[in-house]
A and B are shown apart, each in its own frame.
Chain A
Amino acid sequence: MEDYGNSDDEHQYLDDDEVDIDDNGYSFEAPATENMARASASSMVIPKESLLAAQMGDLLRVMDLLSLKEKHARTLLIHYRWDVEKVFAVLVEEGKDKLFAQAGVTVVENDHQVPLSQCSSTFCCNICCDDVSPQEVTTMDCGHCFCNNCWTEHFIVKINDGQSRRIKCMALKCNVVCDEAKIRCLVSARDSNIADKFERFLLESYIDDNRRVKWCPSVPHCGNAIQVEADELCEVECACGFQFCFSCSSVAHSPCSCLMWELWSKKFEVESLSLNWISSHTKPCPKCCKPIEKNGGCNMVRCKCGITFNWISGLEYSNGYIEVSEKRPEHGKWRLESYYHCHKLYKAHTESFRLEYEMKEDIQDKIKILGEKDTSSKDFGWIKDGLNKLFRARRILSFSYPFAFYMFADDLLKNEMTREEREIKQNFFEDQQQQFETNIERLSLILEENFEKYSEHQLKDFRMRVITQSVTADYLCRNLYEWIETDLLGSLKHSVHKIAPFNSAAVEKASKIPYC
Chain B
Amino acid sequence: MQASRARLFKEYKEVQREKSADPDIQLVCDDSNIFKWTALIKGPSETPYEGGVFQLAFAVPEQYPLQPPQVRFLTKIFHPNVHFKTGEICLDILKNAWSPAWTLQSVCRAIIALMAHPEPDSPLNCDSGNLLRSGDIRGFQSMARMYTRLAAMPKKG
The residues of A with any CB-CB pair to B shorter than 8 Å are 126-130, 149-150, 153-154, 157, 161, 163, 168, 170-172, 174
Contacts and interface: CB of A to CB of B under 8 A. Distances in A.
B7 A128 contact: yes
Contact of A157 (B7, B67, B106): B67
A440 B101 CA distance: 68
Nearest to B102: A172
Nearest to B65: A127
Interface string B71-108: 00000000000000000000000001001111000100
Q: Is the interface of B mostly helix, strand, loop or mixed?
A: loop
Given A157-B66, A157-B67, A130 B100 contact: no
Contacts of A128: 3, 6-7, 65
A253 B7 CA distance: 57
Contacts of B133: none
B101 A127 contact: yes
Contacts of A174: 99
6 contacts: A126-B101, A127-B101, A128-B3, A128-B7, A129-B7, A170-B101
Interface of B: 3, 6-7, 9-10, 63, 65-67, 96, 99-102, 106
A154 B96 contact: no
Contact of A127 (B7, B63, B67, B96): B7
Contact of A154 (B6, B7, B9, B66): B66
Given A129-B9, A154-B66, 9 more contacts: A127-B7, A129-B6, A129-B7, A130-B6, A163-B96, A170-B101, A171-B99, A172-B99, A174-B99
Contacts of A153: 63, 66
Contacts of B6: 128-130
B121 to A, nearest CB: 22
For the complex of A and B, 5 pairs with smallest distance between CB atoms: A129-B10, A128-B3, A172-B101, A127-B100, A170-B100
Contact of B99 (A149, A161, A163, A168): A168
A505 to B, nearest CB: 47
A178 to B, nearest CB: 12
Most buried by A among B96, B99, B101: B101
Contacts of A170: 99-101
Nearest to B10: A129
A172 B100 CA distance: 8
A130 B99 contact: no
A499 to B, nearest CB: 33
Contacts of B101: 126-127, 170-172
B3 A154 contact: no
B10 A150 contact: no
Interface centre among A149, A168, A172, A174 (most CB of B within 10 A): A172
Contacts of B9: 129
A161 B67 CA distance: 11
Contact of A161 (B10, B63, B96): B96
Given A170-B101, A172-B101, A172-B102, A130 B3 contact: yes
Contacts of A154: 66, 100
A126 B106 CA distance: 14
Nearest to B11: A129
B152 to A, nearest CB: 29
Contacts of B67: 157
A44 B7 CA distance: 53
Contacts of B63: 153, 157
A25 to B, nearest CB: 61
Contacts of B10: 129
Contacts of B102: 172
Contacts of A129: 6-7, 9-10
Nearest to A171: B101
Contacts of B96: 161, 163
Contacts of A126: 101
Nearest to B101: A172
B106 A172 contact: yes
Given A128-B3, A157-B67, A150 B99 contact: no
A313 to B, nearest CB: 57
B156 to A, nearest CB: 41
B56 to A, nearest CB: 20
The listed residue with most A CB atoms (<10 A of its CB), out of B6, B9, B100, is B100
Contacts of A130: 3, 6
A284 to B, nearest CB: 43
Nearest to B8: A129
A130 B96 CA distance: 25
A325 to B, nearest CB: 51
A118 to B, nearest CB: 22
A347 B101 CA distance: 59
A157 B61 CA distance: 14
A129 B9 CA distance: 9
Contacts of B99: 168, 170-172, 174
Contacts of B7: 127-129
A117 to B, nearest CB: 17
Nearest to A161: B96
Contacts of A163: 96
A170 B65 CA distance: 10
A450 B23 CA distance: 94
A154 B96 CA distance: 13
B63 to A, nearest CB: 8
